[in-house]
Amino acid sequence: MTLKRLSVVLLACLTLSACGGVDPNSPLGQRKAIFKQMLKAGEDLGGMLRGRIPFDGPKFAEGAEKLDALSHEPWKHFPQVREEDHTSAKDNVWQQQSRFQEMARNLESATGELVMTSKVQPYKVSNLGPAVQKVEDACSACHKQFRDH
């Protein structure tokens, strides 16, 4: 095996193990990647409000837009039938589809409101806190019902 070939193989293994053996192009791999980006975007916003990252109004508004766009994305990557492996989605995602979809819409409307709030000037951290809280509540409400930890 040539060195080049070896490094291609190694790289593929690294990528796979980084996702816990999940094919990044599978529906599961795709939704997990989106959820991770949502977490990162949400943490950046929360970090700005809590002082971990310096508050920057335009940057916050941009982050809110990003989170809002992401919040529409994971749902289409839940297939008709639950995967057997590596998913931490509970069975009831498929058994209580309408409730699941309703909670997805709740998140989308919370991130939509956050975008609106984040555009209000002058920027006020005191307005943004409750809007971010509402988004975080929408995440955890769904996780409580539909995600196995």
Binding site for ligand HEC (CB under 6 A): 28, 31-32, 35-36, 38-39, 42, 87-89, 93, 100, 103-104, 107, 135, 138-139, 142-143, 146-147
Q: Which is nearer to ligand HEC, 5 or 149 (CB)?
A: 149
Minimum distance of ligand HEC from residue 7's CB (angstroms) = 26
Tokens describing residue 146: 């539909």
Distance of CA 143 to the CA centre of its chain: 12
Question: Judged by CB, which is closer to ligand HEC: 54, or 148?
Answer: 148
Cα 13 vs. chain centroid, distance in angstroms? 25
CA distances, 132 to each of 47, 85, 100 (Å): 11, 33, 21
Write down the least CB distance from residue 8 to ligand HEC, Å: 25
Q: How far is the CB of 124 from ligand HEC (least distance, A)?
A: 22
Q: Quick check: 132 and 73 in contact, CB under 8 A?
A: no
8 or 18: CB nearest ligand HEC = 18
CA angle 31, 17, 70 (to 5 degrees): 20
Q: How near is the Cβ of 90 to ligand HEC at its closest, in Å?
A: 7
